[in-house]
Amino acid sequence: MTRSIKMLALAACIAIVSLAIPFSGLNRAWISDVDYSFFLQVALPRLGIAVSSIIGGYAGVLFLSHSQDKNLHELAVTMSVIDIALLIGGLFISDAPYVLMYSLVCPPLVGFGVMKLSERVSFIRKRAVMVSLIALLLLPSIALLSVGIQSTDWVMIFDFGTGFRVLFGALIGGLVANIKAGAPM
């Protein structure tokens, strides 16, 4: 249980640092800006969000699997549905506090949903299926890290793709945690 809490703290720290870089006023650069650096201003923050989401999804599965609280297990599906609503809301709301909230809160809740889904759907517990799902989720994740969905005037670090980065990363983390948990073959 303490391991999952430490992982959640690490994921939160990575997400906060990743969000602090682009939300500082100096890092919102025009495309034609002389000091513009794609690596520092766009790629590293996006990578930080993806890594934070993977760690958060992993920690969410570990936390739920080691939790003895029956109420938490009953509410896990409801919290995952709320989480999906937050991520869908992220497509339309790009305010800094909202992005920070769903970047921190959503990955563990997606992990909860992955754990509950793997308990209810037996074929997902197979190692080959989980590895295939992880491979399929890595493809759009890598594409979103490098390309994203950008506006025409601004280099947007947080855009319509941020919610998808969080979702794909958390799903990958949740599936990896299910493999590590010794899912039956």
Domain for residue 12, yes or no?
Answer: yes
Number of domains in the chain: 1
Confidence at residue 30, expressed as pLDDT on a 0 to 100 scale: 47
Residue 105 lies in domain: 2-180
User: pLDDT (tens digit, 9 = 90+) per residue, 73-132?
Assistant: 889 989 999 998 888 888 777 777 888 888 899 999 999 999 998 888 888 888 889 899
Domain for residue 133, yes or no?
Answer: yes
Confidence at residue 36, expressed as pLDDT on a 0 to 100 scale: 63
Domain for residue 185, yes or no?
Answer: no
Classify each residue of 23-54 as buried b or exposed e, where b means 16 or more C-beta atoms within 10 Å of its C-beta. Answer: beeebebeeeeeeeeeeebbebbbbbbbbbbb
Nearest CA to 18 out of 135, 171, 169, 128 is that of 169
User: pLDDT (tens digit, 9 = 90+) per residue, 116-157?
Assistant: 988 888 888 888 898 999 999 998 888 777 765 554 444 455
Domain for residue 25, yes or no?
Answer: yes
d(CA 93, CA 99): 8
> What's the mean pLDDT in 149-174?
70
Q: What percent of the chain has pLDDT over 70?
A: 79
d(CA 89, CA 58): 23
Domain for residue 136, yes or no?
Answer: yes
Nearest CA to 113 out of 66, 154, 159, 61 is that of 61
